[in-house]
């Protein structure tokens, strides 16, 4: 879990789905997932203080609600408390990076709230894993979160500035696949990750063809593995070291694109 840098500043880290296997669909319409999730050393920043106002600024503040539709407000209300929150919105949205859920989880961590699983799932399927904010295997509809050991990974996140509606992506999904293997093998994790999937990548690319351009650009910039995160449109590339990731992020700073180098699992050895 990422610690705040001081008593009022809290990081809401970007959530990256390294894998996302869609394994079935329930009678209530929700999909069963099996996903390996990592968190970055960058994200939105919340400044929390006494009060009850919610203010939003930052490069991606436009379009983020400040009323009761905002997950921060809903999470604090579920916890039975109030705080004044200034959200520095640094992540694009919607982007497949769990931004709103991570913001709400950061607010809950800031107030020390201990909501039950049902309350978290009522807020959103990503809330349990975002509250953990640590490498995890997320299963079911998001309610089953188990910690996993992952090494530090050097990544570039790229969003092409296109919103991809999650509903449209799932509507275009054809069939389901098997879950991940139960054991993450020893050795180079990129070899293992390369054999896994994001089952939403193909339908999302059908909705927004620019995703294919982003993946190709990451590969051309030297990524050992490139894949879409979540339901898109943000994609990630994994690189051998921080310098290679930084160089690739600079190369991919195209007009209209958001590209950032980062470290996933920053507390890992």
- Catalytic member of 6, 15, 89, 146: 15
SS (H, E, C) 71-105: HHHHHHHHCCCCCEEEEECCCCCCCCCCHHHHHHH
- Distance from C-alpha of 152 to C-alpha of 150, rounded to nearest angstrom: 7
- Catalytic member of 44, 88, 103, 126: 126
Question: Is the CB of residue 33 less than 8 Å from the CB of residue 142?
Answer: yes
- Distance from C-alpha of 182 to C-alpha of 249, rounded to nearest angstrom: 33
Question: Is the CB of residue 99 less than 8 Å from the CB of residue 14?
Answer: yes
- Number of helices and strands (H, E) in the chain? 9, 11
List Cβ neighbours of 194 (8 Å cut-off, separation of 6 or more): 225
- Distance from C-alpha of 261 to C-alpha of 221, rounded to nearest angstrom: 12
Is position 126 annotated as part of the catalytic site?
A: yes
Provide the angle, in degrees to the nearest 10, between the axes of the packed helices 71-78 and 99-111.
30
Is position 6 annotated as part of the catalytic site?
A: no
Of the candidates 166, 163, 261, which has an alpha carbon nearest to the alpha carbon of residue 210?
Answer: 163
- Distance from C-alpha of 119 to C-alpha of 127, rounded to nearest angstrom: 9
Tell me the HSE value of 120 on the side-chain side, using a 13 A CA sphere. 25
Which residues are catalytic, by number? 15, 126
């Amino acid at each position: 879990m990422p610690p705040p840098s001081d008593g009022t500043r809290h990081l809401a880290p970007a959530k990256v789905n390294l894998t996302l296997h869609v394994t079935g669909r329930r009678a209530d319409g929700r999909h069963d997932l099996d996903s390996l999730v990592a968190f970055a050393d960058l994200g939105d920043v919340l400044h929390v203080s006494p009060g009850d106002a919610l203010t939003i600024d930052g490069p991606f503040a436009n379009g983020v609600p400040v009323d009761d539709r905002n997950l921060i407000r809903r999470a604090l209300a579920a916890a039975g408390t109030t705080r004044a929150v200034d959200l520095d919105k640094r992540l694009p949205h919607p982007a497949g990076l769990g931004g709103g859920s991570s913001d709400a989880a950061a607010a809950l961590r800031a107030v020390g709230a201990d909501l039950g699983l049902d309350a978290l799932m009522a807020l959103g399927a990503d809330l349990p894993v975002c509250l953990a904010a640590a490498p995890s295997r997320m299963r079911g509809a998001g309610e089953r979160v188990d910690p996993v050991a992952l090494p530090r990974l050097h990544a570039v996140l790229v969003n092409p500035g296109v919103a991809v509606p999650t509903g449209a992506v799932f509507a275009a999904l054809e069939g389901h696949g098997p879950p991940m293997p139960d054991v993450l093998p020893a050795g180079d994790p990129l070899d293992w990750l390369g054999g896994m999937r994001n089952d939403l990548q193909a339908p999302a690319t059908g909705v927004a063809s620019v995703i294919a351009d982003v993946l190709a650009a990451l590969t051309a910039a030297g990524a050992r593995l490139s894949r879409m995160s979540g339901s898109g449109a943000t994609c990630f590339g994994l690189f051998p070291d921080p310098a290679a990731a930084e160089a690739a992020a600079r190369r991919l700073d195209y007009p209209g694109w958001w590209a950032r180098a980062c470290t996933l699992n920053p507390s890992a050895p």
